[in-house]
C-alpha cells in the first residue's frame, strides 16, 4: 500500500496545493514515489463550499479589504464602516463576498505565476478536498495551529485515539486497521520549533505570497526527510 503525506490548510488552495507538488517532487528526487505520495486538503472546505462563515471572520475579511484600499470604491466607504460597526448581516455578507472573491482571484494569480516560474503549474490539482481521516495517510501536516486542532478533531470523530503527544513532534493517532498517523504543524515539525507556522497570505500582496511559497519549498522536504528518518 502506498502511504500518503497529507498537507492541509484551510481551503485547500494557496498553501496546501503547492505543498502537495513540492512533496511529490521531493519524493521523486528520493526515489520513494513507489512507497509514498503527497496529497493535499483543507480543514474547512465543506464549510466554505456551503457558504458558512462566522460573522467575526467575515468582518475581519472586510477589514483586511478595507485596509488594502484597492477593493472597495470611495462610494463603498460608508457601507463598509457601517457594516464593520453594525450588525446588518446581509450587508456584511455582501461586502465579505466582494472581498473574498477578490482575495481568491489574487491568490490564484500569484500561485499560477510562481508555479509557472518553477515549471510546476501543470502539476496543480483541480478542485478542493475536505480533510478526512484516511487509513493510508501516515502524516497530516497542517499550515497552522488552528488547522492542526481541526485535523486532530477530525481524527477523533473518525474513531482514532491519541496514542502519544510530544511537543517537538506532534500527536500520534491510532486506529485498528489504519496506519498510525502523525498530526503536526508542518513548519513546527520541519524546523523543530513548536511555535512556527506557515504564513497565510490570503488577502495579502504578491510579495507575501512568494514568501509563503519560499517557506513551503524549504519546510516540505525537511518534514518529509524527518519523517522518513524515523522509519
Q: Are residues 32 and 141 in the same domain?
A: yes
Q: Are residues 141 and 37 in the same domain?
A: yes
Residue 125, domain member (yes or no): no
Q: What local confidence, expressed as pLDDT, does residue 231 receive?
A: 57
Q: What local confidence, expressed as pLDDT, does residue 178 receive?
A: 94
Integer Cα distance of 213 and 15 in angstroms: 7
Residue 123, domain member (yes or no): no
Beta-sheet pairing, 137-142 with 161-166: unpaired
Q: Are residues 77 and 7 in the same domain?
A: no
Residue 146, domain member (yes or no): yes
Q: What is the greatest pairwise CA distance in the chain?
A: 60
Residue 30, domain member (yes or no): yes
Confidence (pTM) = 0.93
Residue 151 C-alpha from the chain's centroid: 11
Q: Are residues 76 and 143 in the same domain?
A: no
Those residues of the chain that have pLDDT short of 70 are 231
Q: Are residues 135 and 105 in the same domain?
A: no
Per the listing, cell 508542518 goes with 186
Q: Are residues 54 and 30 in the same domain?
A: no
Q: Are residues 68 and 104 in the same domain?
A: yes
Exposed/middle/buried for residue 27 (C-beta within 10 Å: 0-12, 13-18, 19+): buried
User: How many domains in the chain?
Assistant: 2
Residue 96 contacts by C-beta under 8 Å, 6 or more apart in sequence? 53, 58, 59, 61, 62
Q: Are residues 143 and 44 in the same domain?
A: yes
Residue 9 lies in domain: 3-48+130-229
Beta-sheet pairing, 36-42 with 137-142: unpaired
Amino acid at each position: 500500500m502506498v502511504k500518503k503525506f497529507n498537507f492541509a490548510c484551510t481551503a485547500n488552495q494557496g498553501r496546501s496545493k503547492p505543498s502537495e507538488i513540492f512533496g511529490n517532487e521531493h519524493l521523486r528526487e528520493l526515489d520513494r514515489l513507489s512507497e509514498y505520495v503527497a496529497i493535499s486538503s483543507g480543514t474547512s472546505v465543506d464549510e466554505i463550499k456551503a457558504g458558512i462563515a462566522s460573522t467575526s471572520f467575515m468582518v475581519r475579511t472586510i477589514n483586511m479589504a478595507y485596509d488594502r484600499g484597492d477593493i472597495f470604491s470611495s462610494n463603498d466607504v460608508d457601507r463598509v464602516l457601517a457594516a464593520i460597526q453594525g450588525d446588518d448581516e446581509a450587508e456584511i455578507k455582501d461586502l465579505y463576498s466582494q472581498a473574498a472573491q477578490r482575495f481568491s482571484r489574487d491568490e490564484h494569480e500569484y500561485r499560477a505565476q510562481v508555479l509557472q516560474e518553477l515549471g510546476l503549474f501543470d502539476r496543480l490539482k483541480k478542485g478542493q478536498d475536505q480533510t478526512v481521516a484516511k487509513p493510508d495517510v501516515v502524516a497530516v501536516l497542517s499550515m497552522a495551529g488552528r488547522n492542526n486542532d481541526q485535523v486532530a478533531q477530525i481524527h477523533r470523530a473518525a474513531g482514532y485515539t491519541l496514542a502519544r503527544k510530544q511537543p517537538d513532534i506532534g500527536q500520534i493517532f491510532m486506529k485498528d486497521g489504519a496506519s498510525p498517523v502523525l498530526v503536526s504543524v508542518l513548519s513546527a515539525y520541519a524546523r523543530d520549533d513548536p511555535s512556527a507556522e506557515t504564513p497565510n497570505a490570503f488577502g495579502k500582496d504578491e510579495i507575501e505570497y512568494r514568501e509563503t511559497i519560499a517557506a513551503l519549498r524549504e519546510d516540505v522536504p525537511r518534514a518529509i526527510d524527518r519523517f522518513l528518518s524515523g522509519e
